[in-house]
Amino acid sequence: ATESALKPTKTTVADAASEAARDYAAERGGELIKDLAGTTRDDMRALVSRAVEEGMSTAELQAEIEGMGAFGAARAEMIAETELAYAHVQGNVRGWEESGEVVGTRWILGDLHDDPDVCDECVEAGIVPLGDTFAEDVDYPPAHPRCRCDVVPVLKDEESP
């Protein structure tokens, strides 16, 4: 086989997910942060997009957010966790949509989920068609700051519970 025949010609689902996560962060990053406006919001979007593209850890993004001078350590950590989680989940969903193989999603609780909240309602929703909401105003995790929940894909050939 020739070298060109061995190179993939299509974008993989993982590539699409990474690109979508970066795009989401650039377009909508910082939307969940209260009291964030104008230039600071634009700076946050650019920072979160760069963090996704560079594969920054939560701690690395937290340090960058603290360096902006608008947030203390605790708030910067919460923002870093939430923004990275949301960008990556949105990227996964976009990849699933593009794959044509995913028909729905199922919400799974994070390992630190102790108190009842909207996440429990999302789990109770069961399998939700791809693109639909799990609860009022909740399409995908994170549903709230520090949310550790995730969604998993439901493929065309999987049986309903």
**What is the rounded average pLDDT of the residues 102-119?**
92
Q: Which comes out higher in pLDDT, residue 25 or 40?
A: 40
**What is the rounded average pLDDT of the residues 45-65?**
92
**What is the rounded average pLDDT of the residues 132-157?**
92
Q: Is the pTM of this model over 0.95?
A: no
Residue 99 is predicted with a pLDDT of 86
Q: What is the mean pLDDT of the chain?
A: 82
- Which of 27-41, 47-61, 140-154 shows the lowest mean pLDDT across its residues? 27-41
**What is the rounded average pLDDT of the residues 35-57?**
82
Greatest alpha-carbon span in the chain: 58
Residue 9 is predicted with a pLDDT of 39
Based on the number of CB atoms within 10 Å of its own CB, is 96 exposed (0-12), middle (13-18) or buried (19 or more)? buried
Q: Which comes out higher in pLDDT, residue 152 or 8?
A: 152
**What is the rounded average pLDDT of the residues 42-47?**
85
Assign residue 121 a region (left: φ > 0; alpha: ψ between -120 and 50; beta: otherwise): alpha
Whether 78 shows a pLDDT value over 70: the answer reads yes
